[in-house]
Amino acid sequence: MMSHYCSQLFFILLLSIFVGLCLASPIGDQRRDRITELPGQPKNVGFAQYSGYVTVNKESGRALFYWLTEAPASRAPRLRPLVLWLNGGPGCSSIGYGASEEIGPFRIRSDGKSLFMNPYAWNKLANVLFIDSPAGVGFSYTNKSSDLYTMGDQRTAEDAYTFLVNWFERFPQYKHREFYIAGESYAGHYVPQLAQLVYQRNKGIKNPVINFKGFMVGNAVTDDYHDYVGTFEYWWTHGLISDSTYRMLRIACKSGSSQHPTVQCMEALRVAVVEQGNIDPYSIYTQPCNNTASLRRSLRGHYPWMSRAYDPCTERYADLYFNRPEVQKALHANVTGIPYSWKSCSDIVGSYWTDSPLSMLPIYQELINAGLKIWVYSGDTDAVVPVTATRYSIDSLKLPTIINWYPWNDNGKVGGWSQVYKGLTLVTITGAGHEVPLHKPRQAFILFRSFLENKNMPN
């Protein structure tokens, strides 16, 4: 009898050790992060979702929040690449923008409680990973309050790289998988900076864990000089400012940082804003959500209330949805009880941004020389980081042209234009504003598919 009892105890002990090891393993971490179902989510979505936190700095208690939407089971997710998506600001949430109103599988209804499917979700083609970056943005947090006032490009890139290293340990099935980085706006800094870190730290490694293949950016902050010149030219040629203000801007803002403009430049920009009136500069031909005059954010790159082709108030729905306790619980978010409401953009992080290099072009040159795949796209109704700014930046690289400027087509209609350079592909999307996948989801889907397949835009 005693022998049987001891055998039972031994079995229970072995089982508890096994369960403990499983829970402390990557598989255990994945199980904890698996999303069962989001509140208001459509039934039978057919793909797996995971979300949670990855610590990037133990000393400061910095942790980044992620949301992984795998490709549907019917589309063989284990055979598809992994794509990291980043939104910019600086200080804006990839969960609130990229995942919820651009490329994610769900869109939020106006009640702020229910979701509906995005027919052009990018996870139909790849496994898509969204992170709120840097700490202090969205659900990402830091236990050191001074971090919020000292965030900048370098720390953001380092934390994002640390996140990736730790995340791949949690999800070993993605090790050595084809990996790409994509993003928009001020992620025009985040994406190439992170790409450079991954590339440099992969050097000399025969079969790197992070099998980095390239990046894609849209309406991207790239080079302060060319961004300024191209933006002012866009405003003037589209009738948004006067001749005299155009000349004043060209003089007052001809040097210095767009993230930290001079007093003279700020004064000229204020005049331009008054002349532009109550429009949405992120999409100059669409109506604002009610009266946006009092809601416009600073000139340093923050998103205003969204004014878009489908629903100009979509950002407000995200604020409602992600502040619901049951949503946060389902996402394994806000586990530390952050003492403030979830917001699409952090005013503190954006307003106190520190280091911001004047140009990403040297990184472009380095990664082009390395043979990485680089695509740059631009919605042509964006007046914040317009197509003219992007074209001036690319032109300054002086890359040989492989395929000259041509219209690409979608069902027999012009979807935009493209030019293929040696080492870089430029694509414009006609009628799209700052957030191309929100304004033109079908065309953005075609763009993403062409990028992944390394095929020129269809003509």
Annotated catalytic sites, by residue? Answer: 185, 382, 434
Sign for the pseudo-dihedral over CA of 447, 361, 345, 31: positive
Of residues 160, 152, 154, 182, the one with CA closest to residue 62: 160
Distance CA 18, CA 35 (A): 24
SS3 113: coil
Tokens of 124: 């139909």
Distance CA 83, CA 182 (A): 7
φ, ψ (nearest 5 deg) of residue 76: 55, 70
Helix (H), strand (E) at residue 247: helix 243-252
Distance CA 53, CA 298 (A): 30
DSSP 8-state class, residue 98: I
Tokens of 119: 């027919």
Distance CA 181, CA 216 (A): 6
Q: Are 442 and 120 in contact (CB under 8 A)?
A: yes
Computed on alpha carbons and rounded to an integer, the radius of gyration of the chain in Å comes to: 23
Distance CA 285, CA 307 (A): 9
Tokens of 129: 């990973």
Of residues 187, 67, 86, the one with CA closest to residue 139: 67
| Cβ atoms within 10 Å of 30's Cβ, excluding its own | 17
Residue 410 to residues 377, 443, 447, 458: CA-CA distances in angstroms? Answer: 16, 7, 10, 7
| Cβ atoms within 10 Å of 179's Cβ, excluding its own | 25
User: Any long-range contacts for 28-37 (C-beta under 8 Å, 24+ apart)?
Assistant: 29/170, 30/170, 30/171, 32/332, 33/170, 33/332, 35/330, 35/331, 35/332, 36/330, 37/330
433: Cα within 13 Å, side-chain hemisphere: 24
